[in-house]
A and B are shown apart, each in its own frame.
Chain A
Amino acid sequence: MMKIAKYVAYDIIRNRFVLLYTLFLLIVTVSMYSLDSDAGKSTLSLLNIILLVVPLVSVIFTTMHFFNSYEFIELLLSQPVNREKVFISEFLSVALALSLAFIIGVALPTVLLANNAAAVYLIFSGVLLTFVFVSLASLASVLTRDKAKGIGIALLFWIYFTLIYDGLILYVIYSFSDYPLEKVTLLLSSLNPVDLARIVILLKLDISALMGYTGAFYQNFFGSSTGAIYAFLLLLAWIIIPLWVALRKFIRKDI
Chain B
Amino acid sequence: MLSKVSKDWLGAGFVTVLGLAILIFVPILFDLFEVLQMTKYVVLSLFVLSLAYIWGFGGILSFGQAGFFGLGGYVFAVAAINMGQTTVPFLIAIGACALFAAALGYFMFYGRLNDVYLGVVTLVVTLILWKLINHTAGPEYIIGKARLGGFNGIPSIPIMTLPWRPGQEMEPAQMFQYFMAILIAVYVLLHALIKSKFGRVAISIRENEVRTGLLGYDVRFYKLCIFSIGGAIGGAAGAMWASYQTFVDPNIFSLEWSAKCLIWVMAGGVGTLFGPIVGVLALEYLSFQLGQTELINNLIVLGTILIFLVLLLPKGLFPTARDLVVKVWRRRGGSTGKGSP
Do the two shown chains form a genuine complex with each other? no
Chain B residues in contact with chain A, CB under 8 A?
A: none
